[in-house]
Structure 1
Amino acid sequence: MGILLWLCMASVQAPNWRRYPIGYVIVFFVALVSKMLASNVALNKASLGASIWAIIFGFCVRNAIDLFGQPLPGYLKVAQQTELYIAVSLVLLCIDISVLRPLAPRALFVSWIDTPLLFMVVAWVGWTVLKIDRQTAIILSGATFICGSSAAIALGASMGVPHKTQMPIAIISIFTIPSIIALPYIAHRLEFSSTVSGAWFGGCVDSTGGVIASASIYGDKEAIDTSAVVKMVQNVLIGPLSVLMAWAWSQYELYEQRRFEREEELLAQQQQLFQANDDEDDNHTTANTLSDNRQPTPPTATSKNIKKRDKAHVLLWKRFPKFVIGFVLTAVLFNTTLGEDGDLRGAVNDFSFYVSEWFSTLSFVSIGLGLQLNEMKQNIRNLGMLCTLYLVAQTVDIAITGLLAWVAFTFM
């Protein structure tokens, strides 16, 4: 894994790419310790997964360096490849059509009916009511309603702001733990069937690992299988939603750029008019003499140099989340080349998921390395608003997904 990633760094000539192995060993060691802690029986029952430990340890490493007044070393900075790790993790999520087929209609009903609508409504509430910046609100909302960190990274890449994903992911990773633990007991109390319960967990627990953990606490294999299928169907939304967001945000940027140019042009015309009036006041005699011969001055370029505007398709390609191509290719290859051998398909799927989880853990370590205590103290209000938005979104998601799961797996 490390050698392939090093070749990736070398191919794009990333800064400090020659020292990437040093940073990768540190990040991998932190991920390994996180995995070991997550496999502890007592900690596993408490739903303290590898993602939580990875963020905590990464955070500790970063702020220990800050205590000595040192910047993040170059070998760690180049190994902090959050977007790359999560993209590889997503590409390796092989979608097995044969597993999805029996439950697909009901899983689609649970996963896709409310998700796009609630995603946009909650994002709108975030930037209009809570005054969170637009991109962060979209990232947090998408991560809450789709699949946690994977959706957050994909949406951040689509809008060209991967650095804004760190805080939403950290908040979601921490606040997901109560949901993982509480939902199975609530499902038992409400006397939901195993399939309804599994669909509920799959639709509203943010991460794939958290979904399986919650279904395991519930203690029924049918619930585990149903939750996994519903989560897989929901994960498929990452691709089209990322592409749609890339297109929408590109159009928004072009609109803002055109508006800025119009305002600059209007400002330049006003400045010319004021300058002409000043000249007339200073030289009124000369101005009166030449007034009949003066020709109107056409508007000139603005006082600022406006950057040449990209065409819509160019901007869309820049924003396009490239992992979607790999995600689609992997799914096509998996479902067309392995035949009908269930054991082989299961083995490949399990191995791909295992490697995918490792890359996911590496991404969480990178997220922790990006969280600085001083910045969090300075942005304490914004942190409070993000927590508020997440709690509202998660509460709505739990309630509506529970209702949809009950309808789908009881009456359909």
Structure 2
Amino acid sequence: MNVSTPTASTEKNKLNLTEDWTVVVLGLLIIALSLAGLVIPTPSFGWGNAGDLTSKVFTGSNIAAIAGQFAFTYVIALAGTYLTGKSVRATLLGFPVVFGLTVLALLLAGNKTLKDLNLEAVIFSLSIGLIVGNLVKIPDWLRASLSTELFVKIGLVLLGTTVIFGDILKAGSLGLVQALLVVLSVWYFAYWISKQLKVDDELTMMLASAVSICGVSAAIATSGAIQGDSKKLSYVISLVLITAIPMMLVMPYAAQAMGLSPAVTGAWLGGTIDTTGAVVASGSLAGEEALKISTIVKFSQNVLLGLAAFAISVYWTYSHKTVTGVGGERIEKPTLGVIWERFPKFVLGFIGASLLFSFVLSPSTIEPVKGSLKSLQGLWFALAFTSIGLETNFADLINQNSRKPLYAFLIAQAFNIGVTLVIAYFLFG
């Protein structure tokens, strides 16, 4: 991340809003506007051949929908820039460039051949950002407009609208039990193996959360909780997305070869594969019942995201003390005030949105807005990954120091596959 960019913990504007509080305000504002009737149309990016591009994607109505999303996100991005005290002029100039690159990524992800491989839009937005950022010298005004954390955290607040507690509880408690057991055991093992391999603290926390909780979303939430380096976050995201592909394709057939029941298969897939899209694809290969169970288990792990981010922020505060004496020595444990200051406030927005959509709003109220909010959530994530790619030096992802985190991730993922299979067998067998 550009060293001249102020951090979320120190940057305040005249309204005294930190970046996290700005995200909560903007995320809930988006939800409120949707519920009030401002439903942003969802554009279609699906196509199979050149003819589909003109007949399905580049139609007047679809271009209008894309323009509508651009105008809406542009206004929100400018508001976020102003509230966090950053350069509004830079966002005015730079956001359209980031949005244009992101639309290109969404078009690639919408291709039928690539879609059948379940390659998610974020991997294209990250790749495009990396290619442009490493082949072209990024001008200062564009670099200053890259509000990665702002975009990511708005997406996480909107993610709360899709984590419906009621659906999980109706389906039974076994998914929650498995999620808790898997998250605790796999997170601790991933943390332990990373420390054994001398992976640095920030990468260790992101890796452990990504492997054990819910992949990309967990890595992002953890990075926000510890104010992590966006380059390290980009590396973890790349690992998650790349390893999800072979797991998605191989595990259903491995389950069949082992003679696992559909319920055990679904619980195994949902507990180990780190992206929701790959879980759905893998569950579909294994059958309808396996798909249902895998989705429930994955949602159960998503529910734990807010609690995990809170626990991680408390741990990080106590293990990385900021109170120092005259000589620079650490002299006291952090106070509750310091813990609250470091607590990722966007988690409150995530939990608030989830509770609102789970227990307050009626299905008839949710139905008209859920598609639009889901599309906006994905768009904010894609914008964030494009920004991450633009500000990341590709050489940093493949240098010699990257091998130890890679080994730690693969070993932890292998442990995750094994222990989750055992837990799924005893709970669902």
| TM over 0.5, shorter chain | yes
User: Which residue is equivalent to 1:369?
Assistant: 390
User: Which residue is equivalent to 1:264?
Assistant: none
Deviation at 1:324, TM superposition (A): 1.0
Using the TM superposition, name which of 47-56 and 74-83 deviates more.
74-83
Deviation at 1:59, TM superposition (A): 0.4
Using the TM superposition, name which of 325-334 and 16-25 deviates more.
16-25
**Which TM-score applies when normalising by structure 2?**
0.76
User: Which residue is equivalent to 2:312?
Assistant: 245
- How far apart are the structure 2 equivalents of 1:351 and 1:183? 32
User: Which residue is equivalent to 1:86?
Assistant: 152
Aligned residue for 1:336, secondary structure, equals helix
Contact kept, 8 Å, 1:115 with 1:146, in 2: the verdict is: yes
Are 2:225 and 1:139 aligned? Answer: no
- How far apart are the structure 1 equivalents of 2:131 and 2:347? 33
Cα distance per residue 1:181-208 (max 9 Å; x no partner): 2122222323333332222222111122
> What is the identity, as a one-letter code, of the residue corresponding to 1:228?
T
Unaligned runs of 5+ in 2: 1-72
Cα distance per residue 1:293-316 (max 9 Å; x no partner): xxxxxxxxx6x4679979522321
User: Which residue is equivalent to 1:28?
Assistant: 99
- How far apart are the structure 2 equivalents of 1:359 and 1:213? 23
Unaligned runs of 5+ in 1: 262-301
Aligned residue for 2:198, secondary structure, equals coil
Change over 3 Å in CA distance of 1:201–1:305 after alignment to 2:
closer
Using the TM superposition, name which of 229-238 and 73-82 deviates more.
73-82
Aligned residue for 1:206, secondary structure, equals coil
User: Which residue is equivalent to 2:421?
Assistant: 402
Deviation at 1:257, TM superposition (A): 5.4
User: Which residue is equivalent to 2:237?
Assistant: 169
CA RMSD of aligned residues (A): 2.4
- How far apart are the structure 2 equivalents of 1:202 and 1:39? 24
Aligned residue for 2:170, secondary structure, equals coil
Cα distance per residue 1:92-126 (max 9 Å; x no partner): 22222331122241111221112123212221221
Are 2:108 and 1:37 aligned? Answer: yes
Cα distance per residue 1:323-345 (max 9 Å; x no partner): 11101111222133322x4x554
Cα distance per residue 1:361-384 (max 9 Å; x no partner): 22221222233134345xx22211
Change over 3 Å in CA distance of 1:108–1:29 after alignment to 2:
same
- How far apart are the structure 1 equivalents of 2:74 and 2:288? 35
Contact kept, 8 Å, 2:165 with 2:303, in 1: the verdict is: no
- How far apart are the structure 2 equivalents of 1:48 and 1:309? 48
Deviation at 1:161, TM superposition (A): 1.9
User: Which residue is equivalent to 1:320?
Assistant: 343
Pairing of 1:63-102 with structure 2 (within 5 A): 63-65=134-136, 70=137, 72-93=138-159, 94=161, 95-102=163-170
- How far apart are the structure 2 equivalents of 1:55 and 1:329? 29
> What is the identity, as a one-letter code, of the residue corresponding to 2:312?
M
User: Which residue is equivalent to 1:6?
Assistant: 78
- How far apart are the structure 1 equivalents of 2:295 and 2:369? 17
User: Which residue is equivalent to 1:389?
Assistant: 408
Moved over 6 A (4+): 305-310
> What is the identity, as a one-letter code, of the residue corresponding to 2:297?
V
Aligned residue for 2:402, secondary structure, equals helix
Are 2:357 and 1:334 aligned? Answer: yes
Deviation at 1:245, TM superposition (A): 1.3
Are 2:378 and 1:353 aligned? Answer: no
Contact kept, 8 Å, 1:250 with 1:312, in 2: the verdict is: no
Deviation at 1:391, TM superposition (A): 0.7
> What is the identity, as a one-letter code, of the residue corresponding to 1:200?
W
Are 2:117 and 1:46 aligned? Answer: yes
**Which TM-score applies when normalising by structure 1?**
0.79
Are 2:298 and 1:227 aligned? Answer: no
- How far apart are the structure 2 equivalents of 1:307 and 1:120? 27
Highest relative contact order (Cα 8 Å, sep 6+), 1 or 2? Answer: 1
- How far apart are the structure 2 equivalents of 1:114 and 1:403? 10
- How far apart are the structure 2 equivalents of 1:166 and 1:308? 34
User: Which residue is equivalent to 1:125?
Assistant: 193
- How far apart are the structure 1 equivalents of 2:344 and 2:253? 38
Identity of aligned residues (%): 28
- How far apart are the structure 1 equivalents of 2:193 and 2:144? 36
Deviation at 1:146, TM superposition (A): 0.9
Pairing of 1:158-237 with structure 2 (within 5 A): 158-163=225-230, 164-218=232-286, 220-237=287-304
- How far apart are the structure 1 equivalents of 2:277 and 2:151? 16
> What is the identity, as a one-letter code, of the residue corresponding to 1:371?
T
- How far apart are the structure 1 equivalents of 2:246 and 2:254? 12
Change over 3 Å in CA distance of 1:305–1:241 after alignment to 2:
closer
Deviation at 1:395, TM superposition (A): 0.9
User: Which residue is equivalent to 2:220?
Assistant: 153
- How far apart are the structure 2 equivalents of 1:101 and 1:387? 36
Which is higher, the Rg of structure 1 or of structure 2? Answer: 1
